[in-house]
Amino acid sequence: MPESSPAFIFVTSLLVGFSGSLIPGPMLAMDISESARHGFRAGPLLIAGHAAAELLLVVALLLGLSRIINLPWLTAAVSLVGGGFLLWMASGIIRTGRKEPPPSAGAGGASGAHRRTIVAGVLLSILNPTWLVWWATIGVTFVVWSMQQGALGPVYFFSGHILADFSWYSLVAFLVARGRNVFSGSVYRWLLVGSGLFLVALGGYFVYNGGKGVLSSLSFWVIGLLSSDSQ
């Protein structure tokens, strides 16, 4: 890969990060639902958990994890488990949307809710198969590229990448939190139910593909085992 300046690495990772964060996914659905329930701080807290997971993964990639995370069976397993996790979270969001009234102005949520939001950011990251695939392909490429700048190269890359996530999801959280004070009860509930239904669809898709991948990996393993026994 061509050598580049730290500023170029930062800007490039920022732009690529925006291209990923703008795509609707479980993080966006959770950002909307949590911001509607607990206010603006839910957005940055959610991405704080996401950033923690990504920082650990970048360190792991630097230590050689890239040889493992692109294994098909691992992606399939993460898809299966992650899909189940999304379905579980979706059920809670939908139940809340059907029963809980809109929060009053100024209600910001308790510290326990903040901790749960951070944990949700971590889990939504590591249990998202598309996140794993992104890091096994584009992410690895950026890490290797940034290492040409020495030890600070990955810092420039990660700073640009995570700034894109913080900027976008904080903006979404701000808009949702500001609007929740004028939501009618029905609009607020449909916002949560809509986010939950999106997670149901995404979780079902992950479970379906993860199940196919796991069965495919098992069939290859069984065929290989039978072939070796017949020789």
How far is 130 from 126, CA to CA, in rounded Å?
10
pTM comes to: 0.75
Give the model's confidence band at 106: pLDDT under 50 very low, under 70 low, under 90 confident, else very high.
very low
How far is 111 from 38, CA to CA, in rounded Å?
10
Contacts with 206 (C-beta within 8 Å, 6 or more apart), sequence order: 79, 80, 82, 83, 86, 129
pLDDT for the residue numbered 168: 92
Whole-number average pLDDT of the chain: 80
Task: Give, in degrees to the nearest 5, the angle at Cα 183 between 85 and 191.
Answer: 25
> With 70 as the cut, is the pLDDT of residue 83 above it?
yes
Query: Lowest-pLDDT range, 143-152, 189-198, 220-229?
Result: 220-229
Contacts with 63 (C-beta within 8 Å, 6 or more apart), sequence order: none
pLDDT for the residue numbered 183: 55
How far is 19 from 40, CA to CA, in rounded Å?
23
pLDDT for the residue numbered 45: 95
pLDDT tens-digit profile of 192-202?
A: 788 788 888 87
Give the model's confidence band at 148: pLDDT under 50 very low, under 70 low, under 90 confident, else very high.
confident
Q: What is the mean pLDDT of residues 30-53?
A: 91
